[in-house]
Structure 1
Amino acid sequence: MTNLLTPYVSPALRLPNRVAMAPMTRFRADAVTGVPHAATAAYYAQRASAALIVTEGVFTEWRGRGEAGVPGLLTDGQAAGWAGVTTAVHAAGGRIFAQLWHVGRLNHHLNNPGAERPIAPSAVAAEGLVRAGDAKVPFEVPEAMTAQDIDAVIAGFAEAARKAVAAGFDGVEIHGANGYLFKQFHGDNTNLRTDGYGGSVNGRVRFTVETVEAVAEAVGAERVGLRVSPDNPENGVAESDPAGLYRVLATTLDPRGLAYLHVSEKGRYPAIADLRKHWSGTLIGNHDPADPTDRATGEAMIAAGHADIVAYGRSFIANPDLPRRFATGAPLAGINEEHLYAGVPDGYTDYAPLPHDGTWS
């Protein structure tokens, strides 16, 4: 037995191993309705041997969707589509959390049914282009969120969590990473607010804390995880003191009894090892997807006590039976990059598991 393949038990989780599947955008939902594709159930069920599956980001309101092809948990039709996914995963013996997502400023009014402008902590546009219809257009200046906007988004996360649990999810993960809405509140260059949601570190983490607390109240803290990516410059968010900010966030939320804190490490700050000292509950560690965590690194993270569970992203796309490959020492398959974000079944459900006769060797 290795560290990665030993069971993990906490007050909230009972897992057969410590190899989790990280959330990854796949753009397979209906472009208009946001309902998961019919093949989504098969995709996740194929990967049910993961300790825990965290789905791709699922939007909680239309302004939080970003581009077409992202699934939602806002309508009854979307929830029904996810119910088929959770049923399939549970039938295959798996466990699955829905990642609740809001892109904030990384959106465009052309992608919203009511043509609403994006919202964000402050009226600061992101650099770069976003797909809108058949074209790519520059990001636009978002509307700075009012107090009513903040309350509505928090309420939307709580309602999406209720829909997730009703659809059969074992819990939800709040996407506080990668330059999206919560990260935009944390950033020095994206949060210029002078009210209680800006300025000091406590102000910058307030929106995240209040959302986590509202979701925990809606479905139970033991069903709620939070993903963060300290010092990650993705999507143009800059944090001048990531250690100070995320230590405050971890210390504030630690007593709440959450299912886990999911730390994605990308940058100079050794976030996983440092936040372990400020988090007494379950910690999931995940390294930058551009430099994927290999088996040896995952083993070392657990052996050092820095993480209880290790999340693997792209490795799970091409290797649906990743824990078995680790157990047998089998080589890992590569990703079909051409169909990473489009096509069914190509690049989605057509990756084969290991043969059971040992011929891989």
Structure 2
Amino acid sequence: MDAIFHEKQEGSLCAQHCLNNLLQGEYFTPVELSSIAQQLDEEERMRMAEGGVTSDEYRTFLQQPSGNMDDSGFFSIQVISNALGVWGLELILFNSREYQGLMTNPINEKAFICNYKEHWFTVRKLGQQWFNLNSLLTGPELISDTYLALFLAQLQQEGYSIFVIRGNLPECDAEKILKIVRVEQQQRPKLIGEDDAQTSSGLRVNLNPKDQGPGLEERPLDSDEEQLRKALALSRQDMEVEDEEADLRRAIQLSMQEPTISGSTTSMPCAPKESNVSATSGTSSTGSIGGNQENSLSAEEIRRKRQAYFDRQAQLNTQAAAAQQQDTKPTGSDGQ
């Protein structure tokens, strides 16, 4: 995905990276964004001065730091909005009534800008595919159309503010190339600073070689597919646990049954030859116990036998513990 412009994080210049990744080029520098911020600060100062330069409000305003930028490189939404206005682009809040009333499918948009706790990043459509161009990632992250809405919903749940980009974005090489070929990404990019070792959980065989372009042969495992895989793995684990518990219950039942019980072949597919099983007990060959009730155990008898079994087990455990304690006691001198 070398054709995609992806500016990585430097300092706290995420607003600059967000804009350049959106526009797919080095369109803005910190100096240019600072100039926009200073212009906004001056406009705010002039509005405050209309109430009188000797007022307490105006003096308090002068003492406060700029709300549009700081020394770390942070820039406000007003700075980003003004910078995009140069290109005829505007921002619309994703969860606003104005936008939600349009009932627009997110995949039909061109780009989104996301913000949370002073961090900005871009999600943009290039060709017919969506990419997460977060500057904190080691590279662009492919987002499937089916997962885009879930991705945006998850960001909102985490507290992100999302803005829709409206207007004509400038042309870029990535847009031209990805209109012809489709990117396939096998391993998702990690956050900058994470271990470079990639796990094998994201590996997937490429099944569409005809849709590949040069150097774009990797096939992504969509996040919704990853979640499905995890859900299936968890369900398999639950099934294994249930199977183990069922086996344990069957073992306890078998251990509690006496070989002299008549009509008890229901749970014993291999009854011992010496057991006194009556051929005329009325128990069907399929193991149902709807035959002669006199040869079947009542619920009270089953309860008593189960309790007797656990009492015997507890007694054996107590005896074993006592024997072990006896073995560990000092025996005194050898002659005694």
Check whether TM > 0.5: no
Structure having greater relative contact order (Cα 8 Å, sep ≥ 6): 1
* Structure with the higher fraction of residues in helix conformation: 2
Instruction: Say which one has the larger Rg.
Output: 2
Q: TM-score, normalised to structure 2's length?
A: 0.22
